[in-house]
Amino acid sequence: MRGTGLALGEARCSVCGRRAVYKRAYSGELLCGRCLLRALARSVKRQASRSGGFRPRMGVVVPAALEAPHLGLALAMALHEATRGLDVTVHIVVPEGRGWAVEVPREVLARLAGMGRVRLWRARLQLRRLPSTLRACIRLDRAWSALAARQLGAGAVGLPVTRTTATLAAVDALLRGEPWGLSEALEESVYIGGIAVAPLFYSVEGEAASALAAVEGLKAWGPCKPESLSWGPLMSVLHGRPELEFSPAKAIGLLAGQLRGMPRCRLCGGYTPRPGVCPDCAGVGLEAVEVEPLHEA
């Protein structure tokens, strides 16, 4: 991964002067681990405020998403930092299904559980098959996380969809000629059965979110690899280039504005070409989600 420490030598954090571990490519800032966490926590707070913000004593589900499980853990940490003093509970939910699981090393789980206000859960998903595209993967994450949130009595879900991923989803939707795929590129929250599902890393570039995971040692592996979820050539052009990731947001918003009246899938909340269940949800066949406590030790 470009820029995540090790080669920075004695470089100092641009904010606080401590030893820097990361150079943020799009801003040129040098950051220490603490200031990187705080910067992403501020982004998460701003993003959440667009859908009502955090209320004291609320619960927020953050999935170790199939789309990017390590970024889910990084989001949980940034969210925890963003809600200091608010007594918000961060429910980290790790999914598994028949023949697959998102794996999080025991020491990582123990560290997260030790932060306070964090609870760990395992979600068993009954699926017909794993998603094979980025869009289907994000939609599945939204659908199962919303069901898990309802079981846990949490009012909101934070998804670790970054600006980079949203841009990929937009380009993918346009190249495929499937404009209904633009709902995965939008920053607005989607409501599924009364649960607000928000892309809380929407204003964060993928590289910075990955850097937080790397700096904090937040490792996790899932059954869906990024290369297999989006087109290889597209990924090689767009991925890790934050200079390409900030201008498309407005264009995406304008395009999506044309789609406002389109029906939404009742499982994932995404746009769908016909009412009911979208082609992606129909493909993976999510039937049930069971949530139970995850004991890290």
Closest contact distance (angstroms) between CB of 140 and Zn ion is: 8
Closest contact distance (angstroms) between CB of 286 and Zn ion is: 9
Closest contact distance (angstroms) between CB of 247 and Zn ion is: 28
What is the phi/psi pair of residue 107, to 5°? -70, -30
Tally of CB atoms within 10 A around 78: 30
Inter-axis angle of helices 106-113 and 69-82, nearest 10: 20
- Nearer CB in complex with Zn ion: 53/273: 273
For 89, the enclosing helix (H) or strand (E) is: strand 89-97
- Nearer CB in complex with Zn ion: 156/197: 197
Closest contact distance (angstroms) between CB of 177 and Zn ion is: 19
Q: How far apart are CA 247 and CA 10, in angstroms?
A: 33
Contact 212, 74 (CB under 8 A): yes
**Residue 143, both tokens:** 């659908």
- Nearer CB in complex with Zn ion: 109/265: 265
- Nearer CB in complex with Zn ion: 232/276: 276
Q: How far apart are CA 246 and CA 202, in angstroms?
A: 10
Q: Which residues bind Zn ion (CB under 5 A)?
A: 13, 15-16, 18, 32, 35, 139, 265, 267-268, 278, 281
- Nearer CB in complex with Zn ion: 27/49: 27
Closest contact distance (angstroms) between CB of 267 and Zn ion is: 5
**Residue 280, both tokens:** 């992606």
